[in-house]
A and B are shown apart, each in its own frame.
Chain A
Amino acid sequence: MANSQAMCTSFKVDLLNAIHAFGTTVVRGATTPDSFKAALYLASASLGAGTTAYSATGEVSGSGYSAGGVDLTGSPDWIAPTSTSTTAYSTPTASIVFTTVTLSTAFDAVLIYNSTQSNKAVSVHTFGSQTITAGTLTLTMPTNDNATGLIRLA
């Protein structure tokens, strides 16, 4: 055996569980998972890696849609973070569903954000441009593993 330089895989899982704090962090009142939401954004918006928190700028609007989007409805919202090989990962427990909405202006992105922690951004996911008329948008999650989990720390 020999030593090898690495970021410990357990640390990656711990990051997803907010175990470590290298800088100033938040006061947590409980050990329960945070709550998360999903909001839709127009194709003309500019979300991406630089997005830091939920904003109504560029968000869709229309009948049946409330600003801020919908709650993730799993219990908990995310499948418990785990790892396979050296990759930590997690995926929302349930599909994200916007029921009976009319969104006439094309949208192509969803922002997942932490509604417990000041609406801080988690991730942006893009898809082919869509509109919805008196219908339902369903976002189904990929398989939760180290290759396709929605959030991965490799």
Chain B
Amino acid sequence: MPMISTLINGVLGETDESLLEKRTGELDNDNEYTTWVEYWYEGVLVHRSAHVTLKRNVSAESAVGGFGG
């Protein structure tokens, strides 16, 4: 089984995935599509990663003025 980076009792290390409970989630809206994966050990969150795909850009609208208003 793959090893998962974990933070257990304040110690950063790696734990065999088979020892952990895996939970996943996702969020999909106009702004983003986000997925995350969590690993829990004895009821404690010990790993969480997220992948955010940005959908909505920031834009600026241009304008030019006429003479004589």
Contact = CB atoms under 8 A, between A and B. Distances in A.
Interface of A: 5-7, 12, 63, 87, 89, 91, 100, 102, 123-128, 130-142, 148-154
6 contacts: A128-B32, A132-B49, A133-B46, A137-B51, A138-B49, A154-B59
Given A5-B66, A127-B32, A134-B12, 20 more contacts: A12-B62, A87-B59, A100-B5, A100-B12, A102-B7, A127-B34, A128-B34, A132-B48, A133-B7, A134-B5, A137-B51, A138-B49, A139-B54, A141-B54, A142-B53, A148-B55, A149-B57, A150-B58, A152-B60, A153-B60
State the main secondary structure of chain B at its contact with A. strand
B19 interface: no
Report the contact-size class of chain B (Cβ under 8 Å from the partner).
20 to 34
Contacts of A151: 57-59
Contacts of A136: 49
Contact of A154 (B31, B46, B50, B61): B61
Given A5-B66, A126-B31, A128-B27, A138 B57 contact: no
Contacts, number: 100
Interface of B: 5-7, 12, 27, 31-32, 34, 36-38, 45-64, 66
Contact residues of A: prevailing secondary structure: strand
Contact of A135 (B48, B58, B64): B48
B34 A131 contact: no
Contact of B45 (A89, A123, A133, A140): A133
A12 B58 CA distance: 15
A153 B31 contact: no
Contacts of B45: 133
B42 to A, nearest CB: 15
A124 B59 CA distance: 11
A120 to B, nearest CB: 15
A140 B57 contact: no
